[in-house]
Structure 1
Amino acid sequence: MKIKRKIEIAVISDVHLGTFGCHAKQLLTYLNSIEPKKLILNGDIIDIWQFSKRYFPSSHLKIIKKIITMASNGTEVIYITGNHDEMLRKFSNSHIGKISIVDKYVTELDGKKAWFFHGDVFDVSIQNAKWLAKLGGYGYDLLIVINRFINWCLVNLGKERYSLSKKIKNSVKGAVKYVNDFEEVATDLAIENGYDYVICGHIHQPKMIIKANKNGKTTYLNSGDWVENFTALEYQFKRWKIYNYNKDKLSPFFADEDIKEMEIKDLIAAITIVDQNTKKSK
Structure 2
Amino acid sequence: MKKRKVELVVISDIHLGTYGCHAKELSNYLSTIKPKTLVLNGDIIDIWQFRKSYFPKAHLQVIKKIITMASKGTKVYYITGNHDEALRKFSDTFMGNFSLLDKLVLDLDGKKTWIFHGDVFDASVQHSKWIAKLGGFGYDYLILINRFINWCLHKMGKDSYSFSKKIKASVKKAVKFINDFETTATDLAIDKKYDYVICGHIHEPKIKEVENKFGKTTYLNSGDWIENLSCLEYNNKRWKLFKYQESTISNIENEEEQLFEMEHLISSIQL
Corresponding residue of 1:163: 162
Corresponding residue of 1:76: 75
Q: What CA deviation, in whole Å up to 9, does each residue of 1:12-64 have, x standing for no partner?
A: 00000000000000000100000000000000000000001010000000000
TM-score (norm 1): 0.87
1:230-245 equivalent positions in 2, closer than 5 A: 230-245=229-244
The offset of 1:145, in angstroms, is 1.0
2:112 maps to 1:144: no
Other structure's SS at 2:3 match: strand
**Paired residue type of 1:229:** N
Corresponding residue of 2:184: 185
Q: What CA deviation, in whole Å up to 9, does each residue of 1:130-160 have, x standing for no partner?
A: 0000000001001001101110110000011
**Paired residue type of 1:87:** A
**Paired residue type of 2:141:** L
Other structure's SS at 2:34 match: strand
Q: Aligned pair in 2 of structure 1 residues 161, 186: CA closer, same or farther (>3 Å)?
A: same
**Paired residue type of 1:193:** K
Q: Aligned pair in 2 of structure 1 residues 153, 247: CA closer, same or farther (>3 Å)?
A: closer
**Paired residue type of 2:202:** I
The offset of 1:249, in angstroms, is 5.4
The offset of 1:248, in angstroms, is 9.2
Corresponding residue of 2:206: 207
**Paired residue type of 2:49:** Q
Corresponding residue of 1:61: 60
| In structure 2, distance between residues paired with 1:125 and 1:110 | 37
Q: Aligned pair in 2 of structure 1 residues 178, 238: CA closer, same or farther (>3 Å)?
A: same
Runs of 4+ in 1 over 6 A off after TM superposition: none
Corresponding residue of 2:106: 107
| In structure 2, distance between residues paired with 1:148 and 1:100 | 34
Corresponding residue of 2:120: 121
Other structure's SS at 1:48 match: coil
Corresponding residue of 1:278: none
Corresponding residue of 2:46: 47
- The share of aligned pairs that are identical, in percent, is 67
Q: Which runs of 5+ in 1 are unaligned?
A: 251-282
| In structure 2, distance between residues paired with 1:249 and 1:219 | 30
Other structure's SS at 1:3 match: coil
TM-score (norm 2): 0.90
| In structure 2, distance between residues paired with 1:175 and 1:169 | 5
Other structure's SS at 2:234 match: strand
Q: Which runs of 5+ in 2 are unaligned?
A: 250-271
Corresponding residue of 1:95: 94
1:189-268 equivalent positions in 2, closer than 5 A: 189-246=188-245
Q: What CA deviation, in whole Å up to 9, does each residue of 1:178-231 have, x standing for no partner?
A: 000000000000000000000000000000000111100000000000000000
| In structure 2, distance between residues paired with 1:157 and 1:249 | 19
Work out which structure has the larger RCO, using CA pairs closer than 8 Å and 6 or more positions apart in sequence.
Answer: 1
Q: Aligned pair in 2 of structure 1 residues 215, 249: CA closer, same or farther (>3 Å)?
A: farther
Other structure's SS at 1:35 match: strand
| In structure 1, distance between residues paired with 2:78 and 2:214 | 31
| In structure 2, distance between residues paired with 1:150 and 1:42 | 30
**Paired residue type of 1:76:** K
| In structure 2, distance between residues paired with 1:97 and 1:157 | 50
